[in-house]
Amino acid sequence: MSSSSSWLFSPSCYPLSIDSSSSSAQLLVQWLRFIFLSPCPQRVIISTIDIIFLLSFLAFAAHKLYSRFTSNANSASSITKPLLQEKDSDYKVTLWFKLPLLVTILLAIAYTVLSIFAFIESNLASWIKMEALFRLAQAITNIVIVVLLVHEKKFKASKHPLSLTIYWIGNFVITLLFVASAVVRFVTVDEESRLELNLRVDDVFSLVNLPLSVFLFIVAMKGSSGINVVRMHDVVESSRTNHWISIDRTMSPYANASLWSKTIWLWMNPLLNKGYQAPLKLEDVPSLPLDFRAEKMSELFQRNWPKPEENSKHPVGVTLFRCFWKQILFTGFLAVIRLGVMYVGPMLIQSFVDFTSRKDSSPSEGLTLILVLLLAKSVEVLSVHQFNFNSQKLGMLIRSSIITSVYKKGLRLSSSSRQAHGTGQIVNHMAVDAQQLSDMMLQFHPIWLMPLQVAAALALIYNYVGLSVIAALLGTCLVFVFTLVRTKKSNSFQFQIMTSRDLRMKATNELLNNMRVIKFQAWEDYFGNKIRKFREAEHGSIGKFLYYFAINMGVLSTAPLMVTVLTFGTATFLGIPLNAGTVFTITSVIKILQEPVRTFPQSLIQISQAMISLGRLDEFMTSKERDDKAVEREDNCDSDIAVEIKDGKFSWDDENGNVALRVEDLEIKKGEHAAIVGTVGSGKSSLLASVLGEMFKISGKVRVCGTVAYVAQTSWIQNATIKENILFGLPMNMEKYREAIRVCCLEKDLEMMEYSDETEIGERGINLSGGQKQRIQLARAVYQDSDIYLLDDVFSAVDAQTGSFIFKECIMGALKHKTILLVTHQVDFLHNVDSIMVMRDGTIVQSGKYDELLKAGLDFAALVAAHESSMEIEETSEKAGDSAQSPKLARIPSKEKESTADKQPQDQPKSDKGTSKLIEDEERETGRVDLKVYKHYFTEAFGWWGVVLMLAMSLTWIISFLAGDYWLAIATADDSPIASLTFIIVYAIIAALACIVVMVRSILFTYWGLKTSQSFFIGMLHSIIHAPMSFFDTTPSGRILSRVSTDLLWVDISIPMLVSFVMVAYFSLVSILIVTCQNAWETVFLLIPLFWLNNWYRKYYLASSRELTRLDSITKAPVIHHFSETISGVMTIRGFRKQSEFYQENIDRVNASLRMDFHNNGANEWLGFRLDFMGVIFLCFATVFMIFLPSAIVRPEYVGLSLSYGLALSGLLSFTITMTCSVENKMVSIERIKQFTNLPQEAPWKIPDSSPPQNWPSQGNIELNNLQVRYRPNTPLVLKGISLHIQGGDKIGVVGRTGSGKSTLIQVLFRLIEPSAGKIVVDGINICTLGLHDVRSRFGIIPQEPVLFQGTVRSNIDPLGLYSEEEIWKSLERCQLKDVVAAKPEKLEASVVDGGDNWSVGQRQLLCLGRIMLRRGKILFMDEATASVDSQTDVVIQKIIREDFADRTIISIAHRIPTVMDCDRVLVIDAGMSMDLMCMMFLHKELRTETKTINVQLLPIPIFFLNQTNGLKDALQNNFVHLSKHISTLLVQ
């Protein structure tokens, strides 16, 4: 050290080195250098600044206090007010206030500790006293600043005081001088120079203090205190003057962000800040940038789809590559950059060890090494997170294009393709396959990067240990071979998992769609066990896969240790010297080598899953589509022919082409009304489907002139309001809308509904009666004002009077000038149509007008004869004329009824909830995930002992690895006495123990995770199938399916893995910090801000990320639900040509879902980048301390150990926090599943102490006593006090207007809805005291909608397998299906597809009848059981019921007069009456025989109410004409 620079190292306050003989200019420079760079003057200057600041603060405070005590004249004087104050205001504390406060507190604590150390030194020389006073002044000043900042918050100061701003600026300038002096001392000091210990400590502290001073300088220049003050008058004024200002904040900031903002994710700040202040809502999350939206992706996918001539075998994969090759190349470039810098750190370890072990090391060399380390790690951190973000963004775009393309394909599928794939499987294409391809993008590049990474690592190892690299290569190859073999086996498990999941999802979807029927039949156990069986197969495959994965991860986790043992053992054998630098460089390289070894099998698994998904998607996307050219359509044509078919042959099967329909010549003129009639299964609906183009056209010509409206036989209703269903995408035309409602007889229904046409319809129209659904979809068709109407049996679900009204006012009224093809079984209406087509076995066997066909005889005459026979009344010419008047008479309400209706609003209970929504918004937690959710998950399998065991195993893992590394440090020290052989043997033993610990832990974790997930599934399934019917009425199936698919997938696989990673990561992080701080104690000062910032960043991030994850889960369900709804109604959608509107709705829902995904990914990388970069800064500071401290304090081998650990810190820090956040985000799935494990439950299925006798009900007596029913607690009464008694064996017909409550009565008797009041007594037992299955299994029912389940004829007619084959055939014979089933090659094993779509509606209803034939219960309920069959079949069914159920009690809801006439008594329900005026009439059987010859006269009749029943019998006996009128119009006025 030269004498000229002695002032830099001397604590003296005298200018020893100033040469007074120098010139004036030189003398000035020397003095300035001494004053600003010498230790003592620097401390004097900053202490002076401190004292001036403190004095100004004390003077101002004293002035304030003095003024308060002395000023009495003006209490409001400004001088007596608080230091800082804002009145009439509110405030919000931001980060700009909290961070300066925290930094000042840290500085106050640090200076206080340092001053105490200075004062307690035994040798208090003058320099020590100066140092102690300097530190004390700094401590006091920072304490005062803390008090001042607290004062600012208390009095809402929006700006810092001028004195504080000046102090921070001055302090920053002096700190720069301190740092400059410290750097010069570090660079120029040598071993001979003995620097003062306090000076060395101050120099270190100056470097630590620099970023804090820079931050406080920025705060001072900014001026704002970080307290946002909102003055009330400003708010009011702003709202008055600036109401017109509108800023578009809907677009994501990413769209307009700068390159710098995109590089470090600054564009995420506004959303994260909003989420930190309050829980995010759907509307808070910005929309996707235009280039990322679903419509763009769909268009791009379609544009790049291979042309037919290319004959591509893998079209989906080819298309995705063509669409996104640029993005794939960019992410590959980022991966290569990362690869280029990832080995820089290990390469520097040897240099750092050499630097600390050499005595002639230059400080500049050390600083250069640190700068290289900082640069390399910074580039690595940035490239890693940019790679992750861009890969996830690419995955999101792929998922978007797949979902939209699958949806579009679903709209174009042919009927046979749709049946082949099934709704559940197609939903899996959207939910699972698209996600698999999305996830693959993170694992795509590691496949080809692996050889490069391994080659680079082996080259480095060879550079240090020569031929010993062969051992490393051999060990690595063994690990690769092991993982490849295991991965190949894992692929088969993956395929099994996906197959089992498909089956389970199909079964679950079927259960949810048909829950009402399943509950009626008490089949919950059967279907629950069916799902459990599929789940057990799936769970078994998941278990095999996860155990394989656990062993793989165990091997891969210990592979670096084993490869290290092999390498060092070989080096020892070859006599290659091993020192600390070499050892820890190689261990670091091998740890990095662990990444490709670990990710390669994962990548292979992900790639294999993606390939399976691509194969499934290829199969789906290349499925046969409906041929749009099969039907020639002309919207505006001049031809007189509206519908024309020439030599047509059609099939429902695209492949085999079995002819199902033949039409030689069919012409329907414009404005003509044509009826299509025939027996069940004759091909009536197929004829309409051929006109729509839904059938595969084998040959012939089909031409349609004009727009088409289609009304399906099975009603398809959207989950929307009644108004939205009727408008169906068209703008509102009030006049046309009201007319559509009137002619479809919906006015009274809307009056009965609390919210009229704003009432929301449940999923699949679940809260409407069959007739209401039919009339709403008819109104939808009427409102469309099309040219041609295809109406498929629209009268099947409505009563006779309503049917007559609709035929007259709608068919013959509003649509009188339209072309109509009407499929019907109602022979009464055939007089008024222009032509009739009679079908048999898929062909038109007769065609003509009513009279012509009647004279010709054959099939039509047989149908009419069957109808007349079923009526048991002679048809006369007068009846046809008079019946046309019935609707008009029916529409005129009696005065008595009007008066009661007027009173109704006063008596009707009001809803508790003022909303028209039936489907409730999905329950969503806000804020952090409740600790109870964590407890619920962690203790589900083995309680707290399981948690303790998992923690203990994780801790043992880390300790075993630490032991190995410390042994390396000790054994390779320069002065180590340990022999080479001993070193290798001990190291190998430690490695073997570590392998055993890791393997056992992996297996235990897997077993724990599997047991937990299965427990959750069983609980959720149990809760769902025990839930009341009201739950399914108000919960879309998509909401349930998302929990049993996506959420359960997280619980099965992801959450156990994440929890395992988090435990190890936290222990690893603690071990790194312990090792680093042990060898560089100064870094302890950095731990406080490091931990605080990590915790703050975590909380700041989680506040938004948690809500984004929840919103993501909520927005995914509507995509699935909308798709399921679309597939079920695709014929209607295509019939109306509404594909584009539905496709747009899908686009909107996908965009809403993906914007959550996009911003969640952005938030993840925002956090990860910041945490990793903090880790880099911490590592660099720690390295500075380690290499510049004397080797006596820090040994070189420990520098190597610390650096080998510290290099992992940057990645591990963000990995730990990110994994922790991922666990919390994924815990949302546990939260959602937990919601569905605690659903309200219906009554017990079995009550052991209250079981009915085995033969109950033996008589079939039913008694209702003041029965009152409401659908849900917040809705009005539906049945308002019914009391009646039914004798065993009675046949009761229940009639009433559509929507009057007939089906509700049956639901109550089956206890699908529990009575609000009253009793239901069957054979002397109150059924409300019995278990539900004891009630439901003893009753028989044929429901309103015939439901078949996927499987076979046998599994549908006898699901529980209780009956013999002979009994089944006999049942089929009795229900007129034996010939149909026997004609199929598979007989009883004949296929029934999802929903029974390969059977006609009439055949489905007959199969449902066959079920009841087998059960033969004492009480039978029939809910419009013959609505979808022709009159001839109806006659046969009624005869079968009379014969087979002669001694049974039958309650039959019917719209047909013959069905009513066949009953002993009739119960009429009119829901329009008030509770005490419920209209009930019982017509005695003996009267029926006397009405056989009566000509039905449609005359007015008095209405008899409950309190008039005593005289009812006499009145009816005296007026047979009135009786006939009452029956024919079903007594509804």
Mean per-residue pLDDT for 1513-1519? 37
Amino acid at 777: Q
Residue 975 confidence (pLDDT): 64
Q: Is the pLDDT of residue 693 over 80?
A: yes
Predicted local distance difference test score (pLDDT) of residue 1465:
80
Q: Give pLDDT tens digits for 917-943.
A: 545 555 545 556 677 888 888 888 788
Phi, psi of 1049 (to 5 degrees): -60, -40
- The alpha carbon dihedral of 526, 527, 529, 530 has a sign of positive
Helices (H), 850-942: 850-856, 858-871, 877-883, 886-891, 895-907, 931-938
- Rounded average pLDDT over 764-775: 78
- What is residue 1043's DSSP assignment? I
Instruction: Please state, in angstroms and rounded to a whole number, the distance separating the CA atoms of residues 1166 and 263.
Output: 10
In order of 353, 679, 1007, the CA distances from 1377 in angstroms are: 89, 13, 51
Strand blocks (E) in 988-1031: none
pLDDT, mean of residues 978-1000: 82
**791-800, 1096-1105, 1180-1189: the lowest-pLDDT one:** 1180-1189
Beta bridge partners of 1262: 1286, 1322
Q: Residue 1195: what pLDDT?
A: 60
> What does the longest C-alpha to C-alpha distance in the chain come to?
146
Q: Is the pLDDT of residue 1515 over 70?
A: no
Phi, then psi, of 825 in degrees rounded to 5: -110, 0
> What is the tens place of the pLDDT at every residue in 264-301?
888 898 899 888 888 888 888 888 888 888 988 988 99
Predicted pLDDT at 88: 44
Tokens of 1122: 């909308």
Give the pLDDT of residue 913.
39
Q: Which residue has the higher pLDDT, 187 or 965?
A: 965
At residue 127, does pLDDT exceed 90?
A: no
Given a contact cutoff of 8 angstroms between Cβ atoms, the answer to whether 545 and 458 are in contact is no
Which pLDDT score is estimated for 779?
92
pLDDT above 50: residue 873: no
For tokens 């793989």, the residue is 552
Q: Give CA–CA dist 118/120, Å, rounded.
A: 6
Q: CB–CB of 1344/1406 below 8 Å?
A: no
DSSP annotation of 633? E
Please tell me the predicted confidence (pLDDT) of residue 1476.
34
pLDDT tens column, 777-812: 899 999 988 889 999 888 877 777 788 888 888 988
What average pLDDT does the structure give for the chain?
A: 75
Closest of 1358, 1343, 1345 to residue 1389, by C-alpha: 1358
Q: What angle do CA 1414, 1417, 1420 make, to 5 degrees?
A: 105
Q: Which of 96-110, 692-706, 1337-1351 has the highest mean pLDDT?
A: 692-706
Percent of the chain with pLDDT over 90: 3
Does residue 1488 surpass a pLDDT of 60? no
Least confident of 683-692, 1055-1064, 1426-1435: 1426-1435
Count Cα atoms within 13 angstroms, Cβ side, for 312.
Answer: 18
Q: Give Cα 867 to chain centroid, integer Å.
A: 53
Q: Given CA atoms 298, 302, 304, 306 in this order, what sign does their dihedral have?
A: positive
Quote the pLDDT of residue 389: 92
Give the confidence band of 398 by pLDDT, cuts at 50, 70, 90: very high
The predicted structure's pLDDT at residue 916: 46
Question: What's 629's DSSP letter?
Answer: G
To the nearest 10°, report the CA torsion of 68, 69, 70, 71: 40
Residue 1069 predicted with pLDDT over 70: yes
Question: What pLDDT does residue 615 have?
Answer: 87
Judged against a pLDDT cut of 90, whether residue 450 lies above it is answered with no
By CB atoms closer than 10 A (0-12, 13-18, 19+), residue 634 is exposed
Which residues 6+ apart lie within 8 Å of 1127 measured at CB? 410, 418, 423, 426
pLDDT tier at 129, thresholds 50, 70, 90: low
For residue 1321, give the DSSP letter.
E
pLDDT at 215 over 50: yes
**What pLDDT score was predicted for residue 319?**
92
